[in-house]
Structure 1
Amino acid sequence: MSFFKKYGFLFPLNNYEQFVTFQIKDVNYIKDNLEALINIFSVQDTDNIDYRTLLDSVLFLLLQKEKVIKINDNTCYKSSNKDLLHNINNANKIRFDDNSNTIQIPRDDGGTVPAFEVKDYLLGGGLNVVIIEEYENLMQDDDYSLSFLKQIVKAYVSKKTTIFSEDECLIIDFLYHFSRRILIIIPEDISLNTLFQEVVYETFTKRENDDLKQALLKISKYLIEKELNHFLSEIKPKYDADTMRPNWKLPSLFSAMYLSLFYLDSNQAMYRVCQNINCNQLFLVSKTNQVKKYCCVYCTNAVSQRRYRQKK
């Protein structure tokens, strides 16, 4: 509130006229990015992981396009870079001719099928095979809904010859196996809440997909580091001589919010969603507090009154 009282908005407006134009969709974009990161924070070091929320939030941060927000042509917000997404979308079709990774897989009828060996970080750093005929058929399919799947498969097969970090390779492998086992991902359909039908989440949480769940947790920690480092980069320490205390120079209100996440000790506290169906806001609570389900007294009373009326 002190930031709003001083500057009047998410970003300081002292260099502008009395009024500026700012799109509501841009406010929502900033809010959703921060909420997704808080969601990811809230599941770390917990025994009962909400994989639905984690999956939605990770895919949201991974697959949304890079965005720059301006006020009167001056950049006030820039999302973390989407180099990985850019590289996936620009992955090239691989040539299998005379490739040392091409092998022959036996068929039931005694023949063989040509396949391509791929190092797979999701499978414990082991090897996986891609049937070359299936690969070629996918590349020739004109179905638009398969466009992103094609790029994932291209990146999956060619990542050995491309400069990807191990974290980025794991992300590519996760997207590949998720698309093959559960559902084809369409980036344009990505949102923060309830991306998929219930059966998708049920399938994802089955035991045979434990490797996908473990990979998702690793990816979530990669995103925490990536997002925080990006949004903390413009924050600078300063010393306040009036109070004789250290302080921070904060370029915007949302940067202060990321700074508060930076200081959050996930071993001591976590964000929890208010269980009042008319609220659903996030609130900070001690990890040892298993009782508190509501963000405030108002929501506690509202739920109690609702239950009383239903019982009556």
Structure 2
Amino acid sequence: MKYDVLSLSGNIFVFENQQCDCLIDIAHDQRGAEQKSLRLKGTDNIIRYAYMPKEGLVRVNPKTGSVESGNVLAELLAVRCDDLDSMLKFFTNNGFFIPISREVYEKYEIYEVSSIFRRIQYTVEILTLLQAQRKNYMDILSKVCWLIFMNPITLKSVNYNDPLFETCVHSIHNYLSSAANADEDNSVFQQTDPYDPNIGIYRIPDSVRPPYNDIENIEYDMEMSEPEWDGMPGMPAPPSVWDYHSLMFMYKNFIDIPKSDRKVIEFFYHMRKAVGRLEKITLDGRLVFNSSDESVRKNIDDQLKNALLEVAKITVKEEIDYSLYGVTPSYDIESMTPSWTIPNLITGLFFSLFYLRPNMEAYRRCANISCNQYFLVNTTNSKRKYCCPECANAMAQRMLRKRKKEASSQE
């Protein structure tokens, strides 16, 4: 079915991107280990995109306005971040994330590029996980931590002095930076423990474990005088957000801040207390604690689970809002309709997430084990398992052959 996309109006946006040539640059370090990077150069050919209700972001023919390819965000979700060919195929079809030079091949590290793919994928997956009837809290936690704590990525081009895109730096990092030079907030006064008059406490208002939580002043003073630096690989230099010293300072002193920011600080403070030290976040999003995964699961109680769901929503909002800073409204005087200026492909991808309705739509992976594609489905249509009739038929044939083989083996 063909759509005259360019004639549609409403909440549709249209933008363009340049095609690119893709090369793999292979070098070797001093030990002879192979190191690969991407070399990309823009071409004069233009790719046009449009966002269509119920269809998502699609590639369209600039001359006819017909759809040339289906949902581009679903195409990105199918990219394997450990498969360079998979990433190159996406760039060949869609161009690079940002405008690049047409004169020279620009170099981009695979780690940086794969991190961009993973950041968008995890944002979408969190939206899907939040809608699931049975929540996978460990999966939600790992993706939230990856988005918040992994080092930010900056995409540049030789044609521009300033970066064309920067990944989100979440609000908790701003408080972390200010905590290093902040003074104690005297709004939380030292009190006497009502159960033991010999113990002084700080009574902290708390929305995760309401209505308040008590910290003994001796514990607080000792932690402030002897900080424990975590120094996690793959995270900013200490103090890190998972450092108990920093978390305790923010938890005790940053009270009168926006509720969403406060919720994030409270959640990670209680997580650090309940499950212990987070040793590492792997590139593929796995969390490594100083205790077993089973122990971590047992210590995440209902209060922490409920708080995690709120923090996940806050994280997605910050991720999408931050990535839309380049979008600006404009008015098309020729068609007399509202429109948007989209500066690059990555912003367009995040803008398509902006229009996604998680309570009604979700991205689902095709149930055909030979297919890695995703498709946009109405959440009320829980029975749809395949991205296309061909995949449904292929799996039906596979199951038929399996049943025949099992029947013949029993004869």
TM-score w.r.t. the length of structure 1 is 0.79
Residue matched to 2:326? 234
Quick one: which amino acid aligns to residue 167 of structure 1?
Answer: S
Question: Aligned to 1:29, which of 115, 136, 141?
Answer: 115
1:101 to 190, 194, 200: 190
State how far apart, in whole Å, the 2-side matches of 1:54 and 1:174 are.
14
Q: After the TM superposition, which residues 10-159 of structure 1 pair with which residues of structure 2 at under 5 Å, given as runs?
A: 10-13=97-100, 16-72=102-158, 73-88=161-176, 90-91=178-179, 100-104=189-193, 106=195, 112-124=198-210, 126-139=211-224, 144-145=229-230, 148-159=243-254
User: What is the CA deviation profile of residues 209-232 of structure 1, one whole-angstrom value per residue up to 9, with x for unaligned ones?
Assistant: 221122122222222332222222
Please name the residue that 1:6 is paired with: 46
Contact 1:231–1:255 (8 Å) recurs in 2: yes
Alignment of 1:183-202 (within 5 A): 183-186=276-279, 188-189=280-281, 191=283, 193-196=285-288, 198-199=293-294, 202=297
Paired position in structure 2 for 1:212? 304
2-structure distance, mates of 1:249, 1:47 = 37
Q: Deviations over 1:62-89 (max 9, x none)?
A: 2223332212254121122334214225
User: Cα distance 1:106–1:82, how it changes in 2: closer, same or farther (>3 A)?
Assistant: same
Secondary structure in 1 matching 2:156: strand
Aligned residues: 301
| More helix as a share of residues | 1
Are the equivalent residues in 2 in contact too, given 1:66–1:82 (CA < 8 A)? no
2:190 is aligned with what amino acid?
Answer: N
Q: Which has the higher contact order (CA 8 A, sep 6+)?
A: 1
The structure where strand makes up a greater share of residues is 2
TM-score, scaled relative to structure 2 = 0.62
Identity of aligned residues (%): 24
SS of equivalent residue, structure 2 residue 375? strand
Aligned partner of 1:236: which letter?
Answer: T
Deviations 1:96-131 (A, max 9, x none): 999733323535xxx73322211112123x110112
Q: Secondary structure at the match of 2:108?
A: coil
Alignment deviations for residues 28-66 of structure 1 (CA, whole Å, 9 cap, x no partner): 121122112112222344433332332122222222233
- Deviation larger for 129-138 or 189-198: 189-198
Task: Give, in whole Å, the separation in 2 of the partners of 1:279 and 1:166.
Answer: 43
Mark the runs of 5 or more structure 2 residues left unpaired by the alignment: 1-14, 20-44, 48-94, 232-238, 406-411
Tell me the SS of whatever aligns to 1:22: strand
Return closer, same or farther for 1:285/1:42 CA change in 2, 3 Å cut-off: same
Give SS of 2:179's match: coil
Report which stretch shifted further, 274-283 or 115-124: 274-283
Q: What amino acid is aligned across from residue 46 of structure 2 in structure 1?
A: K
What residue ranges of structure 1 are gaps of 5+ in the alignment?
Answer: none
Change over 3 Å in CA distance of 1:143–1:74 after alignment to 2? closer
> Residue 172 in 1 paired to residue 265 in 2?
yes
Partner of 1:258: 350
Please identify runs of 4+ aligned residues in structure 1 that moved more than 6 A: 93-99, 241-244
